[in-house]
Amino acid sequence: MFTVGWALKQSRHKYGDKTALIFGGKSETYRDLDEYTDRFARALRNLGLRSGDRVALMLPNGLDMVHAYFGVAKAGLLGVPLNLRWSAPEIAFVLEDAAVGAILAGGEFTSMLALSPMRDQVPIYIFGDGGGDFTHWDDVMASADAATPLPEVSERDPWVVVYTSGTTGQPKGAVRSHYSNVIIALSMASEFGISPDDVGFAILPMFHVNSMWFVTLSMVIGATCVIYSRRAFHPVHVVDEMNAFGVTYGMFVPSLLTFLADGVDKGQLDPATLKVLMTSSAPLDTTLRDRLLRGFPTARLFDIYGATEYGVASAMRHRLGGTLGSVGYAAMGQEIRILDANHASLPPGQIGEIYVRGPSLMDGYFRHEDATRAAFTKDGGFLTVGDLGYLTEDGLLYLVGRKQDMIIVAGENVYPKEVEDVLLSDSAVALAAVVGIADQRRGERPVALVVPRPEHVVNVAQLHRLCRERLADYKRPVAIEVVAELPVGPVGKVIRRLAKQAYLGSRAPS
């Protein structure tokens, strides 16, 4: 059976006393991890949670987050990972939309949860230090009945509901099954040549699917996974941990890859240790690609294109002087088509909407049947997230546009409308456009352009305050500029593409 719990138990049988996880000064063997997550699952069931209930995971990277993921899997529940950078209103929306039956949270979030309207509606269990008047998870584990039977879990049962921002700005929960996630792990291991002898490095936030899949991959194949033990990235700490544990593979965004290239240039990293480098969320430029390939001459460097809804759709292995700009060929088991507005296939070279079919697709959007129907073809076989692109004759995929002007900031998705709605809540703002401007380290950064209402004066400082109160930090515009007008279409909607062109043109050297 291709369930997450079954996969972990298989690894326990094969690699029982081998180190599965390392986090700072702590480590766990496969036997420890399997036994503890069995107890974790029983503790969840003893709380009265039943198969199909949702459990919010508000935990930072670490052993607790891995325990929670595998615990809810074995308990037949659905984990709902929360982006720890979301603001209180954003978190409250997801908790309500997912109708969660419990919240598992780190002690550092007790102040926010104490003020949440959900605190009187949903039981909250705290991990680590702190807790206030909330129940501590250690107490739940201590009182759990070891005789509690674990439910039968099918590979087609859902495991997680992962929220991803929609084109309207309201997040939607992508429901992903055990099977789809185990398939992603196995296909990634096969595509990239990762084996049980390898040591992985989980550095990206584990509330994102990228890192969730990465850790699952490591546990499914029996590798050792090192979880970066600091809350903030620092080049020295990244290099130190990679050296200390002999990391051989990792998933990085381009800004982190720059750290690695610098580390090799300065003689701080052994170029022979790292075997597989994976990157996603933002394209590599020629300079960084070539620095990495020259700095790590025996490593394989892969660009991955995917989405919360797809899994891994395609992958490109980079080579010196090779193709740049493509996101590669369809990943194992995936089929990619370019369709027009009527869902008819387009020939190679023609731009259309990218659709993917394969075993790693989501089941649908949680409690959003209309959005699910809109995302899939009528026969339910192919799925789109709204990206535009084209295929070459030999099957290379090129992206030419992203979901409704989505901005990617250091791997985080920012949808302009969500930010624009906050700006437009100010009575002095008539029109707003949020666009992504290229940034060497973060991929892009959001910039806002606003038009004042007649006889009103826009207070830019007040707009920044609104954004700080209502938006995660990565969604907040780095600059807000007042302009006399913005380009609008026939129905009065701002055309962001033209607004961006005008903004960049105003800054071009004369």
- List, by residue range, all CATH 3.40.50.980 domains of the chain: 23-153
Q: What pLDDT does 363 receive?
A: 97
102 phi/psi in degrees, rounded to 5: -165, 155
The CA angle 308-123-103, to the nearest 5 degrees, is 20
Fold that domain 23-153 belongs to in CATH: Rossmann fold (3.40.50)
> Would you give the distance in Å from CA 335 to the centre of its chain?
22
Quick one: DSSP state of residue 150?
Answer: P
Task: Give me the count of residues in the chain.
Answer: 510
CATH 3.30.300.30 maps onto the chain at 405-506
Return all residues near 367 (Cβ < 8 A) that are at least 6 apart. 97, 99, 173
pLDDT at 162: 97
Nearest Cα to 173, choosing from 100, 281, 105?
Answer: 100
Sign of the dihedral through C-alpha 160, 383, 419, 208? positive
Q: CA triplet 87, 60, 472: central angle to 5 degrees?
A: 20
d(CA 477, CA 470): 12
| DSSP 8-state symbol, 343 | S
Read off φ and ψ for residue 200, nearest 5 degrees.
-90, 160
Strand partners, 345: 339
Q: How many CB atoms lie within 10 A of CB 406?
A: 18
Q: What are the residues whose beta carbons fall under 8 Å from the beta carbon of 486, sequence distance 6 or more?
A: 431, 433, 449, 451, 494, 499
User: pLDDT in tens for each of the 510 residues of the chain?
Assistant: 899 999 999 999 999 999 999 999 999 999 999 999 999 999 999 999 999 999 999 999 999 999 999 999 999 999 999 999 888 888 999 999 999 999 999 999 998 888 777 788 899 999 988 767 899 999 999 988 888 889 999 999 999 999 986 444 578 999 999 999 999 999 999 999 999 999 999 999 999 998 999 999 999 999 999 999 988 888 889 999 999 999 999 998 877 888 899 999 999 999 999 999 999 866 677 888 999 999 999 999 999 999 999 999 999 999 998 888 899 999 999 999 999 988 999 999 998 899 999 999 999 999 999 999 999 998 879 999 988 889 999 999 998 766 567 788 888 878 788 898 899 999 999 899 999 998 877 888 999 999 999 999 999 999 999 999 999 999 999 999 999 999 886 445 688 888 998 888 887 665
Task: Specify which residues 173 forms β-bridges with.
Answer: 163
Q: Are 426 and 458 spatial neighbours (Cβ–Cβ below 8 Å)? A: yes
138: Cβ contacts below 8 Å, ≥ 6 apart:
none
Query: Which pLDDT belongs to residue 145?
Result: 84
Prediction pTM value: 0.84
Give the pairing of strands 412-414 and 407-409.
antiparallel
Q: Topology of domain 405-506, per CATH?
A: GMP Synthetase; Chain A, domain 3 (3.30.300)
